[in-house]
Structure 1
Amino acid sequence: MKQLQSLNVSYNKLIKVPYDIRSLTSLEILNMDYNSVFELNCEDFKDTVHLRTLSLKSNRIVSMSRCVLEHLTDLKFLDLGHNQIQYYEDIFEIALHKLEFLDLSYNPIAYYETEEFQALWSLKYMIVGTFFTAQAKQKTFQGSNNLEDVFISHEHEYEPNFRGLKHVETLTIYLYCNDDFKVPPGTNYEDSIHFKSLKTLTVICRGDRQGFPYIIPQIMLEGMEHLEMFKAVNVYNEAPGRGTFYFYPHLKSLTISKTDLTDLDPEMFLAIPKLQSLDLSESNIKSLDFLLQANLNALRYLKLTDNEINVINETVFQFLPSLTYLDLSNNQFSCECSNAGFIQWIKNNKQTQVVNAHQYECFLPVDRQGTLLLDFDVQSCWNDGSFFYFISSTCLVVLTLLTSFIYHFLRWQLAYTFHLFLAFVYDSRRRKKGDPHQFDAFVSYNVHDEDWVYREMLPVLEGEQGWRLCLHHRDFQPGKPIMENITDAIYGSRKTICVISRHYLQSEWCSREIQMASFRLFDEQKDVLILLFLEDIPSRHLSPYYRMRKLVKKRTYLSWPQAAQHPGVFWQNVQRALWPPQPTNL
């Protein structure tokens, strides 16, 4: 037994250190956790000088004398946590120069003295604080220059005095939420420069904040320029501001949980483009849209468990090109077509591992509660007719817009094409039958000008000159469609006489008659159109009547007002125009 190097006597209800341990001179590891030891005397470890690990966690030790540990010069690990130690004299001022780990947490120690741990030259990992500790005096950690990991647990008003922790890399602080995190008077940037080596900071607030924000002093954080991991649990009452992480350009891991992040500002992440891990669990998040503007191109790990997310737009993940791990457990997913794209993304993407996606359950609608999200039939979203209705309504809208456009800008061109087609068909039929022209001329006029036609034109052209004229009030066939009558009249006459006045230009049927006549002119390439103006109409007034203006510019026309003094010459010109037409080039 004298050669024994490791001994574990935990959970044995021991009330003191067994006497036989004194004879184990080669002992290096001793575990006496979870017993009832209430006293340590100077002889307990006097002969175990090679002891390197001593764990006395969760006993009832009340006090410790200096002599208890003075012979353990090789000790590296000492755990005295969860005892009832109220004072311990100056046990840390003795030769524990090799001690690397020290746990004094959860002991009723009122405060830590100045330069309490300065003799622990090799100390790297320390856990301190209890329900009862009020403060650490100035320079408490002075001389502990090798400390790399510090865990502090305080559940009363606490003033942090971390001077001397020049090389600390990990700092964990447990605090009670109903108290304040105070900064000692006079603290400034120079006081916080001892955190320049800090890489990991964890602040955990215990208890119920009851709506009051717990604030980490900004001045305390400004010197942490090399911080790579920041964890805040139950600390913030609302989403941190956009400048919160301005001083952490190298931050790679961020955890903010048990916080109301309903109003999370995506610009908060712009200062930390190197972020690789993000945990926003239990934070009342309802949407992932903030990721669209967060610029998290390096993010690999994303945890959003226990939030209130219903619907996820799968396009969000296009803005996370490096994402390989995603945990969305315990959210309130909606098993409806609004999530069809997200479900398809889970099934088809090969880059990102969606943790336990096969166990995600539906929260909405009520009749699907308890069913699995991935069991939702996304095909039904395409087969329920909604896609067909969407396509149909889209086509209808496009058709309506196209029809409106054509009517507004191209109606005359379409009408021209239609009537040209009718004229072509009619002329082809007439030529096949070899029908001669029934009339010499078809007279196109407006009803307001009918008096002039019967009083001035007919007596001369029919009575004196003997021409056969076609007049719509007299010669159109009753019961026949008016367009057919017009077509028959124009193609059944050798020529068409248009009696033009302002009323004529404003008439829809007169407009169609002159259109049909101009179509024939275009089709047969013959001089079949005679223009008679009853009024002097300036060319600028013809601008709205594109076709009429074009004809007036290209063809010679007769003006009744200009022939008022010599009507005989006027009718002679009409007679010459009515002679059998010659081929013409337009």
Structure 2
Amino acid sequence: MPDLGSCPPVLVSLLCFLLLQHSTWSFSLKNCTISDSDDENGNDVYVSCDYRYLTVIPDDIPQNAVSLNLCENHITRITRAELRGLSKLVTAQFDVNRISAVEDEAFADMVELRFLSMNDNKLTNLTEKMFQGLSKLEELYLSDNEISFLTPRAFQSLPRLRSVGLTNNYLSKMTDIHPILKLPALISLQLAFNRLEYFQTDRIPVKLSNLTYLDLSLNFLRKFSITRHVFPNLSSLVFNECGYNIQWDVKNKTFLRSLTRLSLSGIYISFDSYRAILQTTSSLKQLEFSNMKSWLDQGLVETACQIPSLRTLVLTGCSLKTIDDKLLQSCSQITHLNLNFNSLLEMFEHSLQSLTQLRILSMSNNELSKLPVTIRGISTLEVLDLSYNSVKELDCLDFKNLTNLTSLNLQNNHVSTLQGCLFENLKELKELNLRLNSLDFVGNAFKLNLQKLESLNLDKNDFKAIRDGDFRSLFSLQELNLQTDDSYRIDHEALEGLGNLQTLRITCPFLTVIFESLQSLQNLSIVLVFNDHHNSHRRDDDSPFSNLTLLKRLEIKKQTTDKGGTSTDLLSGLRSLEFFRAENFFKESVHLDTFRFTPKLKNLQIVHSDLSDLTPELFWYIPDLKELDLSNNKLKSLDFLAQAKLLALSVLKLSNNDLSVINETVFQFLPALRYLDLSDNPLTCECSNSGFMQWIQTNNQTQVVNGYQYICAFPVRRQEEHFLDFDVHSCWMDRSFLCFISSTCLIMFVLLTSFIYHFLRWHLTYAYYLFLAFLYDNSRKKAGTPHRYDAFISYNVHDEAWVYRELLPVLEGQQGWRLCLHHRDFEPGKAIVENITDAIYSSRKTLCVISHHYLQSEWCSREIQMAR
């Protein structure tokens, strides 16, 4: 930003006016924010304007934007003028607004657009030129509108359109969807929840379609008819809740020979009709039944499993309480069985024994209290999901024969103990999820088993302690989650044996050296929860991470309220650290040498820590820092940034601090700054912030996030006003400069006055009286006043005797003149100057008696000057 301090005020005013008039020059958008771009040059920007209560599209969207999000607003109309110039836009979202009209060719400038979503609006029809110009559009979503009519040529300008979503609209006839089916590149069509009564290929005006996915759910169809080979590539058909007594008319099996996935739910037709449907879909690989218990009881599963190609069977939401030995007896070819969201209480002992090829079994969200015995015999099983059940106990025989199991999910059950023999046969297990259970001790479950386990999640349990060697055999473990809501005792060698661990999330009472053996660790998240019950002698180790030379990401969150200090060697050894987040950890201050061991740090977050002041030396050890988050502290000044030497810093977050006055000059020392967040600070709307206000509006590099929504906190009379609405014109003139000019002018005036009084006062006095005489003369000439005297005698008082004895007898006595003498004819009480002026102008002549005294007299000099 140029230095405007030396510019004339008029020039400053003009410059600021021009900048304010051209809002596209401003990098801080009035109603939107710009998200971080992966583009190193910063040419591509992602604009978010969601949840802003907007009624129109903002006019300051950057023309190099590639993504625009305007969801959750109150926009009612889209015009071409509002979207003009957005030629680089690739994705645009207008979901959840009140859009009822789109002007023709409104998107004409968006020539690069690939994705357009206008779900949940008030559109009623699609006009011929609505999508004009979108020749590269591939995905269009218009669900949850009120569309009842499509102009026949509505999609003619969309040759690359591949996916169309029109769920929950008012389309009622086949002719309504003809414009869509004509699209040459169409592969996915969502027509669920419309008013279609018939779907018949003989009414489709195309010979061949590339459609692969079709959703006709919730349409209450009367007839589904395929009489021509129109959909040779159709692989997925969703046919849920499609009405009563639907007529399925697919006479030739080859018409659906590509169909591999079929979803059926709640269609109230006869069992024979279901059988007919399944007989015409002989290539199915995945079949989904939902809310169809009565037909399952009649043998629908048996009919389905007669399809030789079937591999995935989904029976969700069918209110199954038990699985007997007959339900799945004919499904030997099934490899994936999904029984989620039923009400399963038990399964018969041999209910799954016929599934000799089963690899994936999902029984999430049921009511099982123990593992069904039938699972024990499925030696082919690779993935088992029993999450969100009520399993309390696990027996050593439960997994005895599951030797090929690679993933086991027992999340959100009531398991309290793990026996040492529980996992001894799971030689291939790689992922184990025991999150949200009631475990208090790990026991011996991991000391001798699970050598191939890579991921173990024990989050949200009730651990009392983690003991030495609890994970001794987990040589391959890469990810371990031990975070809980309360602290627990951790023995010194509790994590021994985890030499390949890369990610660890743990809850500790204090920082200890238990991490010293984890030399491969790259990600560490620690929650500090102090509990007197577990640790009566609390002491943080000075260098708890000294051996973690490969650690790249460290997060520490303290849930206690103590204000204990931290060691200067806290981060000792972390020479590879790139990300560090400390929440409620540092209290009021951070030691100057804290980051001397982390020269590669790029992202630093110190939040909720009550920091009131920082020194620039703190950041001298981390010159490559790119992101700094100091939100939710008590900072009152940003002066520390001026000497922090953060030349690479691009993102600065300072929300929820105590910043009231911000010196914009500190940002001159952050040349790479592109993103600045100062939300929820008590900003002062006075001239002390005028420079910062001007910087927000004129800088073309740094985005001040939501800058136009900042609210004044001070003074009281301006509270609740917008920060940038403050008129800074009165602040542009430098007060000290104004005082200088005023005092200089006053001094010059006094000097000039003194000079004139001393050297020129008589000249000015004469000039003044001459001017009065000139005015008087003009006025008398205009009035035509006659002379009263023949002559005015001008003499000095010392010559008065001569005038009376010699001059007066001759001129008045002998010549008969009428003379004007000052002692005789001047009007008493009148100013002397006015009397002289009247005497001169009342006489035809002025007679001066020149003598030595006359020449020395001030009044005589004035009289002769006036007369002359």
* TM-score for both structures, normalised by structure 2: 0.44
Give 2:500's aligned residue: 146
Helix, strand or coil at the partner of 2:371: coil
> Quick one: which of 376, 379, 399 aligns to 1:45?
399
* Among 276, 279, 282, the residue aligned to 2:629: 279
Give the superposition deviation at 1:252. 1.3
1:350 aligned partner, one-letter code: N
**Aligned-residue offset at 1:371:** 3.6
The 5 A counterparts of 1:87-126 are 87-126=441-480
Q: Does 1:399 align with 2:712?
A: no
Distance in structure 1 (CA, Å) of the matches to 2:719 and 2:757? 62
- SS of 1:202's equivalent in the other structure is strand
Give the distance between the partners of 1:161 and 1:301, measured in 2 at CA.
34
Q: Alpha-carbon deviations, 1:537-559, whole Å to 9, x = none? A: xxxxxxxxxxxxxxxxxxxxxxx
Asked whether the equivalents of residues 380 and 402 of structure 2 are also in contact (C-alpha less than 8 Å), the reply is: yes
Whether 1:353 aligns to 2:703 is yes
> What does residue 173 of structure 1 align with?
526
Q: Tell me the CA shift for residue 283 of structure 1.
A: 0.2
Residues of 2 paired with 1:220 and 1:313: CA distance? 33
Q: Does 1:307 align with 2:657?
A: yes
1:330-369, aligned counterparts within 5 Å? 330-369=680-719
> In the alignment, does 2:382 pair up with 1:28?
yes
Query: Could you tell me which amino acid in structure 1 is paired with residue 408 of structure 2?
Result: L
Given that 1:140 and 1:162 are in contact with CA atoms closer than 8 Å, whether structure 2 keeps it comes out as no
Would you say 1:319 and 2:669 are equivalent positions? Answer: yes
1:477 maps to which of 857, 860, 867: 857
CA drift at 1:242 = 1.7
Unaligned stretches of 5+ residues in structure 1:
423-471, 486-586
Instruction: Report the CA distance shift for 1:219/1:134 in structure 2 as closer, same or farther (over 3 A).
Output: farther
Corresponding residue number in structure 1 for 2:346:
none
- In the superposition, relative to structure 1, how do residues 396 and 44 fare at CA in structure 2: closer, same or farther (>3 Å)? same
1:278 to partner: Cα distance: 0.6
Structure 2 partner of 1:266: 616
Q: Which amino acid aligns with 1:243?
A: D
CA distance 1:318–1:100, shift in 2 (3 Å): same
- Cα distance in structure 2, aligned partners of 1:400 and 1:480: 37
Asked if the contact 2:548/2:573 (under 8 Å) is kept, the reply is: yes
- CA deviation string 1:478-520 (max 9, x = no partner): 34799xx9xxxxxxxxxxxxxxxxxxxxxxxxxxxxxxxxxxx
Written as runs of structure 1 = structure 2, the 5 A alignment for 1:559-570 is: none
Secondary structure at the residue paired with 1:204? strand
Aligned to 2:411: 57
Any conservation in 2 of the 1:138–1:163 contact (CA below 8 Å)?
A: no
Q: Provide closer, same or farther for how the CA distance between residues 220 and 290 of structure 1 changes in structure 2, counting only shifts above 3 A.
A: closer
Give the 5 Å matches for 1:250-265. 250-265=600-615
Aligned to 2:713, what secondary structure does the other structure show? strand
Provide the rounded CA distance (Å) in 1 between the counterparts of 2:444 and 2:633.
Answer: 45
Give the C-alpha shift of residue 392 in structure 1.
4.5
2:335: which partner in 1? Answer: 3
Structure 1 CA distance for aligned equivalents of residues 719 and 526 of structure 2: 40
Give yes or no for contact 1:158–1:182 (8 Å, CA) kept in 2: no
Residue type at the aligned position of 1:396: S
Structure possessing the higher radius of gyration over alpha carbons: 1
The equivalent of 1:72 in structure 2 is 426
Q: Tell me, in whole angstroms, the C-alpha distance in 1 between the residues paired with 2:582 and 2:570.
A: 15
The 2-side partners of 1:388 and 1:313 are apart by 16
1:473-512 equivalences under 5 Å are 476-479=856-859
Aligned to 1:244: 594
Instruction: Determine if the alignment matches structure 1 residue 204 to structure 2 residue 554.
Output: no
- Give the distance between the partners of 1:369 and 1:188, measured in 2 at CA: 47
AA at the equivalent of 1:204: K
- Per-residue CA deviations over 1:93-129 (Å, capped at 9, x if unaligned) read 2341221111223333332232332321111111225
Letter of the structure 2 residue corresponding to residue 327 of structure 1: D
- Post-superposition shift, 1:170? 1.5
* Pairing 1:221-240 to 2, within 5 Å after superposition: 221-240=571-590
Q: Is the 8 A contact 1:136 1:160 kept in 2?
A: no
Shift of 1:16: 2.0
Q: Give distance in 2, aligned partners of 1:386 and 1:162.
A: 58
Q: C-alpha separation between the residues in 1 aligned to 2:576 and 2:618?
A: 18
Q: 1:115 to 1:141 in 2, by over 3 A?
A: same
Name the Cα RMSD after superposition.
Answer: 3.9
- The structure-2 alpha-carbon separation of the partners of 1:157 and 1:198, relative to structure 1 and needing over 3 Å to count, comes to closer
With over 3 angstroms needed to count, the CA separation of the structure-2 counterparts of 1:20 and 1:346, relative to structure 1, is farther
Deviates more, 1:323-332 or 1:122-131: 122-131
* 1:14 has 2:368 as partner: yes
Are residues 361 and 10 of structure 1, via their aligned partners in 2, closer, same or farther at CA, if it must alter by over 3 Å? farther
Structure-2 change in CA distance of 1:15 and 1:300 (3 Å): same
Is 1:162 paired with 2:494? no
- The amino acid across from 2:577 in the alignment is L
CA shift in 2, pair 1:216/1:168, >3 Å = farther
| Aligned amino acid, residue 619 of structure 2 | F
Cα distance, 1:88 vs structure 2: 3.9
Between 41-50 and 241-250, the greater mean CA deviation after superposition: 41-50
SS, match of residue 694 in structure 2: helix
**Structure 1 residues 327 and 178: CA distance shift in structure 2, 3 A:** farther
TM-superposed CA distance for 1:417, in Å, is: 11
For 1:165 and 1:232, locate their aligned partners in 2 and report how far apart those are by CA, in whole Å: 21
Q: CA deviation at 1:67?
A: 2.8
- C-alpha distance in 2, partners of 1:23/1:330? 61
**How far off is 1:300 after superposition?**
0.9
Please report how far the alpha carbon of residue 325 of structure 1 lies from its aligned counterpart in structure 2 after TM superposition: 1.4
2: distance between equivalents of 1:360 and 1:385? 20
Instruction: State the distance in 1 between where 2:414 and 2:639 align.
Output: 53
Question: Shift of the alpha carbon at 1:153?
Answer: 0.9
Distance 1:217 1:392, change over 3 A: closer
Which letter maps to 2:416? V
- Whether the 8 Å contact between 1:188 and 1:219 is mirrored in structure 2 is yes
Q: Which amino acid aligns with 2:644?
A: A
Distance 1:388 1:263 in 2: 30
Contact conserved, 1:192 with 1:219, CA < 8 A, in 2?
no
What amino acid is the match of 1:28? E
TM-aligned CA deviation for residue 54 of structure 1: 1.9
Q: Counterparts of 1:8 and 1:102 in 2: how far apart (Å)?
A: 19
2 CA distance for matches of 1:11 and 1:354?
A: 46
Give 1:499's aligned residue: none
Contact in 1 for aligned 2:460/2:484 (Cα 8 Å): yes
Given the two structures, how large is their TM-score scaled by the length of structure 1? 0.63
Q: State how far apart, in whole Å, the 1-side matches of 2:486 and 2:709 are.
A: 44
- Of 474, 477, 481, which residue of structure 2 is paired with 1:127? 481
Please give the alpha-carbon distance, in whole angstroms, between the structure 2 residues aligned to 1:15 and 1:100: 28
For residue 170 of structure 1, what is the amino acid of its counterpart?
N
CA distance in 1, matches of 2:747, 2:366: 89
Name structure 2 gaps, 5 residues minimum.
Answer: 1-330, 337-358, 765-851
Q: Distance in 2 between matches of 1:195 and 1:66?
A: 31
Contact 1:183 1:217 in 2 (8 A): no
Distance (Å, rounded) in 1 between the aligned partners of 2:720 and 2:377: 63
Letter in 2 for 1:346: I
